[in-house]
Amino acid sequence: MSECRFLVTGCAGFIGGHMLELLLAKGFPVVGVDNFSTGKQENLAPVRGRFECIEGDLCDPAVARRAVKGATHVIHLASIPSVPRSVANPLENMHSSVTATVTLFDAAARAGVSRVVQASSSAVYGDDPALPKSEDMLPGLQAAAIMDNGAWRFEYTPKRPGVYAGVMEPEPYWEPAEDRYIIHYTKTYLAAYGDAEGWDEPTGLKTEILPLTRPFGNYAGNAFQGQVLLDGKPVPGAMVEIECYNRDGAYAAPNEYMIAQTVKADANGVFTYGVPFAGWWGFAALNGADERMLREGEPKDVELGAVLWAEFVAPAVK
């Protein structure tokens, strides 16, 4: 980081001013840019004279080019800091938030900036008064029973279009029958309000199944493809176990071999399975962790599971 040079946009805002202080305290060269439409000079008082401050509008390509010149990293904080104001004047908001951001990103790409970090808004958390804000859904869990087993239930209503990944990262649990600890990272997807983009991006879990087939809006009979990842890399030859959630006991397996299907992934960790009938289907790829965990002073193996659930439906009959 010794050769890093930072650009902070919206540097005269409350957060921008504190960001300048932090970076300068760590010894980094910093450039700040602000049009002072909402930023205040007093926010710069603690660091005035210690950095280059550019007064200008990032919607102007010349200002954006000057600001990113020589920068290795950009921290983009410039925006209209008011949701009500953006609703009351959408054109102003588009100018300050969208046009300025696109102009900045274009200038940064052309200048060879290695990384851009863009700030979001606490408004995305809704009207929850709790502070600090958290993305952890644990407090919302409710005890439930699924197929006579203890379980947890959580309800969530999306407020805007998008593809939402629901992820459960459990605590390791001890499995006496296998003499090992087990950690299964489980996820499923929810598409809301017609949006269908972004489902093919990794979530960054320790291990996961990256869907190569859209994991929602599928008919029974479709072929489903996924790629098994461990530490973000494909797992060649991964074994994938597949089961249907037989919640109502509507299906009976002819023999024990039919309860769980098994597919072997190829050299790129990719597997394919033809889903035979409607229902929720679970895909689980199991891998061993490099690290071991102690149990009563003895090191034990750890099984890592990448689990993906997807629903396949039968077409409606007229």
Each residue's pLDDT tens digit, 156-206: 888 889 999 999 888 898 999 999 999 999 999 999 999 889 999 999 999
Does 131 reside within a domain? no
pLDDT number for residue 117: 93
**202 and 269 part of one domain:** yes
**148 and 97 part of one domain:** no
Does 318 reside within a domain? no
**120 and 148 part of one domain:** no
**174 and 271 part of one domain:** yes
User: Six-digit token pair at 292?
Assistant: 């071991």
pLDDT number for residue 150: 87
Overall number of domains in the chain: 2
Does 199 reside within a domain? yes
Average of pLDDT values for 197-223?
A: 95
Each residue's pLDDT tens digit, 104-147: 999 999 999 999 999 887 777 766 677 777 777 777 889 998 87
Long-range contacts of 139-146 (CB under 8 A, 24+ apart): 146/247
